[in-house]
Copies of this chain bind each other. A is one copy, B any other.
Amino acid sequence: MTVKPITDPVIAIDVMGGDAGPADVLAAVDIAAERYPKARFRLHGREADIVAALGKLPRLRARAEIFHTDDVVLGTDKPSQALRRSRTSSMGMAIQSVKDGAAHAAVSAGNTGALMALSLFALRTMDGIDRPALAALLPTLKNDSVVLDLGANTECDTENLVQFAIMGAAFARTVLGLDRPRVALLNIGEEELKGTGEIKDAAGLLRGADLPMAFQGFVEGDKIGQGDVDVIVTDGFSGNIALKTAEGTGKLVTGLLAQAFRSSWLTQIGYFLSRGALRALRAHLDPNAHNGAVLLGLNGLVVKSHGSANIRGIANAIGVAHDLVVDQVGERIARDLANFRAHRPDIADAEAPL
């Protein structure tokens, strides 16, 4: 199978999702339109709001089509409530346009639970993938690392973890531009006897497999920030805990730092002299620079922008969608899965779809 790049991607945007509001979402789409001159956009949301914003964005207006709806999935809506509006809400319509083949990817900054439920319902999992995984980039001392699953699946079995590793490696090849990403399973020790049975079995399968990745075994939580591994694979519960603990600790340390600088006039001068470098530090850790979590393993791409992302952050999430479409990450995953199965007939027999 050859993977042909798609040169003119169409991206469906849920204009109403997230905290930013339609004007900022469309300003972000306009930045993406500038960056990707061949991309086109389907804008789902309130026509009046969209038309008003497009008045100031002629470049985007020329490459966008508007699909009106008044129905918006709220942050407080349960997945079951969102599922009932899969064809009427701006989020549901954006995903539906991927299903219908009218768009290559959908981007939304709305309710994560609703987005996962609507995406799974409309797009279904790829052949050979039992469950989708939410993947995103985390900052480290070196390059960014990919972490998945971040909360799509509370509990995972061995096969899920192996599939996540394959999907995460394909994602890293596109988004981090690596030929052979280093992949490890998140565990509570690096020794082979540590961890759950699922993790140990997944390590055994990945260790022997011929895949376009350098499998490194286990990695512990304290190594996530070091950047010595490119893809960190875990179940959605632990991944979510790790991601949010990292966020919280980052805030804790920068909060304590702000207290420290405020503590005397001497430290305030110290802050003043160092502020350029401190701003660079903040920029390195800024979630907007790493925005765009991807739901991998479905028949179609869905990218989740952080609900509180700013214009630049939303533009970055659209960029992630664009790059994954152009690189045909779904095709890559399908090819890697097929190779993996072909070389492990025990698994192929037991797990092949009937």
Contacts and interface: CB of A to CB of B under 8 A. Distances in A.
Interface of A: 78, 139-141, 151, 154-155, 186, 188, 193, 195-196, 220-226, 234, 236-238, 240-257, 259-261, 263-264, 266-267, 269-278, 280-281, 284-285
Contacts of A256: 141, 281, 284-285
A240 B253 contact: no
A169 to B, nearest CB: 21
A251 B250 CA distance: 10
B193 A222 contact: no
A266 B244 CA distance: 34
B244 A220 contact: yes
Shortest beta-carbon contacts, A-B, top 9: A221-B244, A270-B274, A225-B252, A270-B273, A260-B277, A222-B248, A221-B245, A249-B249, A222-B244
Instruction: State how many copies of this chain the complex holds.
Output: 2
A191 to B, nearest CB: 9
A223 to B, nearest CB: 6
A254 B253 contact: yes
A275 B196 CA distance: 44
Interface of A is mostly: helix
A122 to B, nearest CB: 22
Contact of A272 (B154, B243, B270, B285): B270
17 contacts: A222-B248, A223-B244, A223-B248, A224-B248, A238-B238, A238-B241, A246-B246, A253-B254, A260-B280, A261-B277, A264-B276, A267-B274, A270-B270, A270-B271, A270-B273, A270-B274, A271-B274
Contacts of A277: 260-261, 263-264, 267, 270
Contacts of A269: 270, 273
A275 B140 CA distance: 25
A6 B260 CA distance: 41
Nearest to A243: B221
Contacts of A139: 252
A241 B274 contact: no
Contacts of A280: 260, 263
Q: Which of A193, A248, A259, A281 has the most chain B CB atoms closer than 10 A to its own CB?
A: A248
Nearest to A188: B240
A252 B260 CA distance: 18
Contact of A188 (B78, B154, B234, B275): B154
A76 B221 CA distance: 20
Given A193-B78, A271-B270, A151 B188 contact: yes
Nearest to A220: B244
Contacts of A278: 257, 260
A253 B285 contact: yes
A236 B238 CA distance: 11
Contacts of A237: 188, 195-196, 238
